[in-house]
Amino acid sequence: MKKQNFGRIIMTTSASGIYGNFGQANYSAAKLGLLGLSNTLALEGKKNNIYCNTIAPIAGSRMTENILPQNMLESLKPDYVAPLVLWLCHESCEENGGLFEVGAGWIGKLRWERTLGALVRQKNQPMTPEAVKADWIQICDFENASKPRSIEESIGKAMESLSKIDSDGRVSTNNTSHAASSKATSGFVGAIGHKLPPFSSSYTELEAIMYALGVGASIKKPKDLKFIYEGNSDFSCLPTFGVIIAQKSIMGGGLAEIPGLSINFAKVLHGEQYLELYKPLPRAGNLKCEAVVADVLDKGSGLVILMDVYSYSGKELVCYNQFSLFLVGSGGIGGKRTSDKVKEAVAIPNRRPDAVLTETTSFNQAALYRLSGDWNPLHIDPNFASLAGFNTPILHGLCTFGFSARHVLQQFADNDVSRFKAIKARFAKPVYPGQTLQTEMWKEGNRIHFQTKTQGTGDIVISNAYVDLVPKSDTLDKTPSEGAELQSALVFEEIGRRLQDVGPEVVKKVNAVFEWHITKGGKAVAKWTTDLKNGTGKVYQGPAKGPADATIILSDEDFMDLVVGKLDPQKAFFSGRLKARGNIMLGLKLQTIFKDYAKL
């Protein structure tokens, strides 16, 4: 199902599993277990267009043929269940994670319901059965009940209660519990957050042109001339040249210095790549790059290192890369499998592509592309390729990545590099020089989903990929002036100045890094980081240079209300005005800090 990026799964539970039934303990437990399995598969399969639902049929069967009257058996025959199953399996059905009772021509959907409940904890007093008894009517009152649909909504009420307790001056949470839990569950404490030595990445028009030729730009295509002729009035760097700027972080031997990890470079695979530009790349430049291990994941068959690389021109962030490196055979040691630091790949739409472009690579393609700095002999030396299990040297995955990005830029942006915002791709299979690439593209708003195949074999070589474009009226080179008009920018700058005086005190109280995504009109227009964890604290524009403890998303207006104390962070979170990822309990500390330092 994952391979074909489509699947429909139907689990069969029963009323005994949902409600219980006298004398059927084992059967009921097994049937309810199927519902839990189905709900989890629905969550895990969604990204691969695999949907899972559960039915509880009321149908006549061999088990009931000697119990129920014949006329009732006829009314409950399976023919009155099958149509629901067929619909849930249809490719146009978007239902996922549902539970349905069905029988005799009737269908109904079930859901959980929860009372508003009652808060029974008191300041400096134990929680007692008497307190539970006193509020029992309210605990069981289903008037104005909520209908939770996810585990996040399940724990959300408890988190909201913790906020109320704290704001009422009652019992506070244990500030050490999260740190202790994190330390207990992670075997890569020394690696996560490790910063590689900063490095410079200089280039001229020559390197930019060499890269463009390496990813298939050609004088045969008149619109490609802007990428391969420095005298062109619109000479530009291809946006994906941004990965070349950052690749020294994984080419220069820095991986061997990551503490807590023993890396066999012969077993390192490039799994996925994310690139985001904050402005078009200059035609020539000298950028300073900072690389940090954002996270380490254990996938069982291997480890995944998430390497974040930030590239600056002076103090201005120009581009951000995330390299996902797979260490074959190093997993299975009990680490976590997922992370909120991952720039997720996204499944392609379930319909015919809106556009398809094909292009044949040269037999010299890998030899040409390696001149941009990837000297791995796997791509040039037949003997080395043979040792790695390939008949001939293979093409660099990032070369195919560059071809695909060019196709999207050509098809949907008329080669306008100022409209390129970001790209994410997963490397699925190798390509051999000389093969023909076929890029299939789907437009959904400003996001262009794509996958790349090799013609002839039909193999998908890049999967679950997308390019985010900026609308024509809102190009990237206008973003800085828009950001300057935000009220929040003035506040962040003032916070930075205040930290010069009170930084040590704030760092001691908070001990966390916050990444802020500021929106305007529903669109993200600026990113800021408040580092209240390291040194005396600092504030800078752009994403966090290392792992952020919490990422907060809210509008420019709501940010101002939050800072001056008009908006409660927890109320904003539960009303949807403020969105957060990571350790959301840090919102409690954030509220305290803003109360103490709100006079900005």
CA torsion, ordered 200, 205, 207, 211, to nearest 10 deg: 120
398 residue type, one letter: L
Query: If we measure between CA atoms, which residue out of 368, 375, 379, 377 comes closest to residue 403?
Result: 368
Query: By three-state DSSP, how is residue 158 classified?
Result: helix
Q: Which residues pair with 466 in a beta bridge?
A: 424, 449
The angle, 0 to 180 degrees and rounded to 10, between the axes of the packed helices 586-596 and 487-510 is 110
Q: Which residue in 27, 203, 320, 540 is the catalytic one?
A: 27
Is 27 known to be catalytic? yes
Query: If we measure between CA atoms, which residue out of 573, 530, 579, 535 comes closest to residue 553?
Result: 579
Q: Are strands 550-555 and 512-520 parallel, antiparallel or unpaired?
A: parallel
Summary count for the chain: helices (H), strands (E): 20, 19
User: DSSP letters along 179-206, please?
Assistant: HHHHHHH-S-TTTTTPBPPPEEEEE-HH
Taking the C-alpha atoms of residue 385 and residue 454, their distance in angstroms, rounded to an integer, is: 20
Taking the C-alpha atoms of residue 546 and residue 540, their distance in angstroms, rounded to an integer, is: 13
User: DSSP letters along 51-82, please?
Assistant: EEEEEEE----TTTTTTS-HHHHHHT-GGGTH
CB 10 within 8 A of CB 54: yes
CB 8 within 8 A of CB 51: yes
Query: By three-state DSSP, how is residue 405 classified?
Result: helix
Residues with active-site annotation? 27
